[in-house]
Amino acid sequence: MTLLGWLEDELRRRGIELTRDDIERITRIIEEREWISIHPELYRRLMEDASKTLSTEINRAKEEIEAIKNRFKDTVQMLKVNSDIRFNELSAIGSDASRCPMPLLIARSALVSGIALRHPSDNPPSILEEVLIVLPSEMSGTSFRFYVSAKCESLIPLSVQHQLLNYKPPGIVVIDGPLSISQWYREIPRRAKKVVEVIDEFIDAKSNLMKLCYEMDIPLIGVVKRGRSRYFHNYSGLADESHYSDQYVFHQMLNYGFRTSSISITEAIIKWRKKAKPKELLITRLPFEIYGFYIKTSKNPLTPPIRVEYPSYLKDHEDWIANYVLSTAVQTYDSEFDGLPFVQCLAHRDAKIAGRIMWEVYKQRLYEISKTGENLSLIAPSKGYSPK
């Protein structure tokens, strides 16, 4: 069936009458704007297959989730959290970082930046930028991803330290992402010395921030919005009974305004890596044990709970932390910000590096090279990438 024939059938089925000219003009506009990029018959088959597959997965998940929920109820409590509008007036520092890879053939490159800002406050934000990371093309893609990730994440604690040391202490510090250190960073080959060094710098930066907040008596929390970890599974001895993430399971168990009881993230990682010696675990290099809980801060049934992490010097202050997070959580249809503390949303918005900005930098460089008569192919992008 042609696109035109399919459109005529759809209009006829809906009782809509158009002239031939109308139909041809509509079809031409659709094709020009590429609103339909696949054959209607293929679209129909994909829809049928997707519906059947999703129904099967949903039914299977119902049974498995019900079983693991009952097991978790024996080890993890569901606790009600209070909300207090006065928390919105508490001076808070929010911090985030962003990265944008540049797919050049000449070298491996990426733009990274970090920011720490206050709300409410008139203080200027602390902005740290590496501008552009350029490493030899012979570095493996895996090593480059490790390098950029560690360099980017280190800008978060460093930008917060700048705020703490240059302005008056805030009521709380909120960083985007975990306080714990992912054991994923241990996967880098030991021979990649440059990458190992930047990972060490990242761990030192995070450790120094924790020490500074402890000395200044400032609450420090990390908020994880996309959690793929299974720390609660490992901590509770349920790792072999479910393949789902902690976040997905607690999404089925928590209602808005409720949280789980806390566990030691540090201990959960030790249990997970029970064959490894403690000194081989990156999280043991932090100056404090890390704790965490999940909390449902969004009223949207599609938005999962977030994980909140904090150092052990804040143990016994979980209720205050949970109250703050719930009280300042943004309620929005934008899934990128829904359920996150307001100051974290501000930092995330201002730190994000859009790909189009990176391409604007690239296009400007192309223009400069073309004026000098240099060979433009020297800075050609990878296949499939081109300036918009």
Q: Which helix (H) or strand (E) holds 4?
A: helix 3-13
At residue 273 the predicted structure's pLDDT band, cuts being 50, 70 and 90, is: confident
At residue 34 the predicted structure's pLDDT band, cuts being 50, 70 and 90, is: low
Gyration radius (Cα) of the chain, Å: 25
The per-residue pLDDT of the chain, averaged, comes to 87
The whole-number pLDDT of residue 81 equals: 97
Section 167-178 average pLDDT: 96
Is the pLDDT assigned to residue 174 strictly greater than 80? yes
Backbone angles phi, psi at 140, to 5 degrees: -65, 155
Is the pLDDT assigned to residue 215 strictly greater than 90? yes
Other CB atoms within a 10 A radius of the CB of residue 326 amount to 22
CA dihedral 129, 222, 247, 51 (to 10 degrees): -30
pTM of the model: 0.84
Nearest Cα residue to 158 out of 168, 147, 169, 150: 150
* Helix axes 141-166 and 193-215, enclosed angle (nearest 10): 20
If one compares 243 and 220, the residue with the highest pLDDT of the two is: 220
> What is the per-residue DSSP string for 328-366?
TB---S-TTTTTSBHHHHHHHHHH---HHHHHHHHHHHH
3-state secondary structure labels for all residues of 281-331:
CHHHHCCCCEEEEEECCCCCCCCCCEEEEEEHHHCCCHHHHHHHHHHCECC
As a whole-number percent, the residues of the chain with pLDDT over 70 amount to 91
Is the pLDDT assigned to residue 309 strictly greater than 70? yes
At residue 166 the predicted structure's pLDDT band, cuts being 50, 70 and 90, is: very high
Backbone angles phi, psi at 231, to 5 degrees: -60, -45
The whole-number pLDDT of residue 257 equals: 97
Residue-wise pLDDT tens digits, 59-74: 888 888 888 988 898 8
The whole-number pLDDT of residue 260 equals: 98
The whole-number pLDDT of residue 293 equals: 98
Section 49-68 average pLDDT: 84
Q: How far is CA 325 from CA 40, 223, 249, 259, 265, in A?
A: 47, 9, 20, 11, 19
Residue with the two structure tokens 């969004």: 298
Q: How far is CA 272 from CA 260, 267, 309, in A?
A: 20, 9, 18
Q: Provide the token pair at 217.
A: 């008596």
At residue 31 the predicted structure's pLDDT band, cuts being 50, 70 and 90, is: low
Q: Which helix (H) or strand (E) holds 96?
A: strand 92-102
At residue 113 the predicted structure's pLDDT band, cuts being 50, 70 and 90, is: confident
Is the pLDDT assigned to residue 329 strictly greater than 80? yes
Lowest mean pLDDT among 190-204, 285-299, 374-388: 374-388
What is the DSSP pairing of strand 290-295 with strand 263-264? Answer: antiparallel
The whole-number pLDDT of residue 83 equals: 93
If one compares 176 and 380, the residue with the highest pLDDT of the two is: 176
At residue 239 the predicted structure's pLDDT band, cuts being 50, 70 and 90, is: confident
Rounded Cα gap, residues 322 and 319, in angstroms: 5
The whole-number pLDDT of residue 387 equals: 64
The whole-number pLDDT of residue 102 equals: 80
Section 47-67 average pLDDT: 83
Rounded Cα gap, residues 300 and 331, in angstroms: 8
Most confident of 1-5, 152-156, 287-291, 380-384: 287-291
The amino acid sitting at 45 is R
Is the pLDDT assigned to residue 142 strictly greater than 70? yes
Section 134-155 average pLDDT: 87
Is the pLDDT assigned to residue 341 strictly greater than 80? yes
Section 310-335 average pLDDT: 96
Is the pLDDT assigned to residue 125 strictly greater than 70? yes
Residue-wise pLDDT tens digits, 284-297: 999 999 999 999 99
CB distance 214 to 311 below 8 Å: yes
Q: Which residues pair with 117 in a beta bridge?
A: 94
The whole-number pLDDT of residue 67 equals: 87
